[in-house]
Chain A
Amino acid sequence: MPTSPDSVFLNVPYDARYEKLYLAFISGLCAYGLTPRATLEIPGGERRLDRIFRLMTSCRYSIHDLSRVQLDTRPPRTPRFNMPFELGLLLGWLKTDRKVRHTWFVFEAEERRLQKSLSDLDGTDPYIHGGRVRGVFRQLSNALVKSKHQPSLPQMYRVYSHCWRAVPLVMKYRGATSMFEASVFRGLVVVASEYARLELSSQRR
């Protein structure tokens, strides 16, 4: 699959407690002119892992949020291994294929927790968002500091708050019951890109 220069692979947890941060990542990335991609776009099937790998390697950037290390409240109580597993998969690919141009970022909610939960990543500075929407925007602007245009934090927040209000309508329109469905994800990216375009074009005038 050819690499898409403006696509970002979003490796984040999909649960109700993460809804706001999930939307913050979508809004923030769209404000930078990037297109988020996620594993929830991939339909189930035997070759799911292959498709995850293909999607991940087709993106120019990837964001891995390793903040969900707690045990799930539903029985059987287990932590989520998908995010660190997908990061490992990506790092394995980058180690074996040195010609690849791919930039990855690790996000966490708490300072110094990554050193304990995933000490193999020592020497990598995670971006600490503190579990807050504003924290996500602040750290995105740190991670993407060399980007062509720099949306300000209030601009990203305006895009986010419009998207947050539009969520129930987008869900109804796509016939979905959760924000973490492929059709809603795609709809939200389109809506967020449009809000970002309107926000940035109103600034230029």
Chain B
Amino acid sequence: MQRKAKVTAGLPSAAKAARILGVPKKVAEDLSTLAERSWKTGEYNIPGFGRLVRVKSLACVRPASAKRNSKKTLAKREPRFRFVRFVKAS
């Protein structure tokens, strides 16, 4: 039967979650860094790997052709991001 659960879990911890799920230490550290940096600066990047850059989506009008009328596309409200790999310094 369903009961009201008494959750005694402590504060959330990425290290604990990584240990339970068997995530390699290096991966867990990189992901924690990603979370911590994005929390502070709003920039999503993983050191030595890459980052997300915001994609501007502009409103545009597709011109009419012989077969169809012109089509107006509005700018997207939700921010979209694309991935950019870091360039290694040679």
- Measured CB to CB, the residues of A under 8 A from B are 4-7, 30-35, 37, 41, 61, 103-106, 124-125, 143-149, 162, 165-166, 168-170, 172-173, 186-187, 189-191, 193-198, 200-201
Interchain residue pairs with CB less than 8 A apart (15):
A5-B9, A30-B17, A35-B17, A146-B4, A148-B10, A149-B11, A165-B81, A168-B82, A170-B34, A172-B50, A173-B27, A173-B30, A189-B21, A190-B32, A193-B13
Min Cβ gap B33→A in Å is 9
Q: Are A147's CB and B6's CB within 8 A?
A: yes
Q: Which residue of A lies closest to B83 (CB)?
A: A172
Complex contacts, A168 vs chain B, CB 8 Å:
52, 81-83
A166 adjacent to B21 (CB under 8 Å): no
Q: Contact partner of A162 among B10, B38, B45, CB < 8 A?
A: B38
B20 x A191 contact (CB < 8 A): no
Q: How far is the CB of A200 from chain B (nearest CB, A)?
A: 6
A169 touches B83 (CB 8 A): yes
Contact A194 to B36, CB < 8 A, known contacts A35-B17, A169-B51, A187-B23: yes
> Which of A35, A106, A169, A190 sits near B2, CB closer than 8 Å?
A106
CB-CB contacts below 8 Å: B59-88 with A = 79, 81-83
Q: A165-B81, A173-B49 are in contact. Are A190 and B10 (CB under 8 A)?
A: no
Number of A-B contacts (CB under 8 A): 143
> Least Cβ distance of A64 to chain B in Å?
10
- Asked if B9 contacts A147 (CB within 8 A), the reply is yes
Q: Is the CB of A166 within 8 A of B38?
A: yes
Residues A190 and B21 in contact, CB atoms below 8 Å apart: yes
List the A side residues contacting B31 at CB < 8 Å: 170, 173, 187, 190-191, 194
Alpha-carbon distance between A58 and B72 when the two chains are bound, in angstroms: 54
CB-nearest residue of chain A relative to B46?
A173
Q: Is B8 an interface residue (CB 8 A)?
A: yes
- Across-interface contacts of A201 in B (CB, < 8 A): 11
Cβ B9 vs Cβ A105 within 8 A: no
Is B5's beta carbon under 8 Å from chain A? yes
* Interface pair B34/A6, CB less than 8 Å apart: no
A198 contacts across to B, CB distance below 8 A = 35-36, 39
Please name all residues of chain B whose beta carbon is closer than 8 Å to the beta carbon of A147 when the two chains form the complex.
5-9
